[in-house]
Amino acid sequence: MPQRIAEQSPILLLIDDAPNIHRLLAVKLKDEGIDFLAALSGEEGLQLATSHQPSLILLDINMPDLDGFEVLLRLKNEPSTMEIPVIVLSSAHDSELKVRAFELGAMDYVCKPFDVPELRARIQSAIRLTRLMRLLEHRAQIDSLTGLWNRAHLNKRLEAEINQASRKKTPLSFVMCDLDHFKKLNDTLGHPAGDLALQTFAKILQEQIRDYDTACRYGGEEFAIILPNTPVSEAVGVCERIRQAAEVASWRKYPDMNITASFGVSDRPIEGREDAQGWIEAADRTLYAAKQAGRNRVLAFSETPPDSKSDSKSDKSDAPRVRLAS
């Protein structure tokens, strides 16, 4: 479930081959609430940037072996470090060098010898901007009605979990579910009742899953759940608990309202598709089969592959064989 961005000390990585610069900044920034990382070469700096994901990098241009421009280029070409802001440090005042640094993705350019209070202000400004950007990115991945992660987050998270499960040879289950006859509920009791139903179901999801599971609002009345380290039999049990909790939910404001949900559980993608979309398709087709079988039930993707090789979502006749959760 969505979590607040942890309030932790920002990490500053200084990549500079001059030890005196490291000593100077370590002393001058010791009261700034910043954790300090030091690299004396470009290669060491790249390794620390990847492993520690610093909040900001101070990068000297004039270094032997691997100069700052090459380091900057590699930082910005690597997905895991490309978003880390970089302030370039250089003794050169040449405007062409400044332009090159900005073209490669530097946030700022500071000339040596630098004024420490000015550099301190630039560092704090860069860290504040980074925090703001990360906060905005975090909020952009949360569904405003339910407070769950949204579909944009789901796509990234599912891909990451698939890769990890493949590397570690651990089980992974993926669930698609939605509220039954939701349009009828909206038409009969109104959209405020529908919103309350979605919010309550989202709360039930959060209560029934573990901290490292991921629940998302996929769209409309449809939800998705990622269950790492979970074989399909256990995932069916989780969904059954969610189904039962939704079925018995009471509604003080709408005493005549009741909701049920249908679930499609998969522990693999459709045949021929190993990516996240393949997993979504498998669970979605199984969900469709659950609804065709009468709704308010949990169905699991069968070990027996579907007869049809087609993966066209528009043709529901090729839905996979499923088994009813016991």
Encode pLDDT of 246-265 as tens digits.
999 989 999 889 999 999 99
pLDDT score for 2: 64
Mean pLDDT of the chain: 87
Q: What digits encode the pLDDT tens for the residues 101-119?
A: 999 999 999 998 888 889 8
Q: Is the pLDDT of residue 312 over 80?
A: no
Considering the entire predicted model, what is its pTM?
0.64
Mean pLDDT of 12-29: 91
Half-sphere exposure of 251 (CA within 13 A, CB side): 20
pLDDT band of 228, cuts 50, 70, 90: very high
- What's the pLDDT at 313? 38
pLDDT at position 319: 43
Cα-Cα-Cα-Cα dihedral sign, residues 152, 280, 213, 156? negative
**Is 32 annotated as catalytic?**
no
Annotation: CATH topology of 151-324 = Alpha-Beta Plaits (3.30.70)
CATH 3.40.50.2300 fits 11-139, yes or no: yes
156-169 pLDDT per residue, tens? 899 989 998 998 99
Candidates 44, 83, 207, 221; catalytic one: 221
Q: Where are the domains of the chain?
A: 11-139, 151-324
Range from 1-5, 49-53, 57-61, 266-270 carrying the lowest mean pLDDT = 1-5
Angstrom distance (rounded) from CA 223 to CA 101? 45
pLDDT in tens, 167-202: 899 999 999 999 999 999 999 999 999 999 999 999
Check residue 265 and give its pLDDT: 97
The tokens describing 241, both together, are 């608990």
The whole-angstrom separation of Cα 24 and Cα 3 is: 37
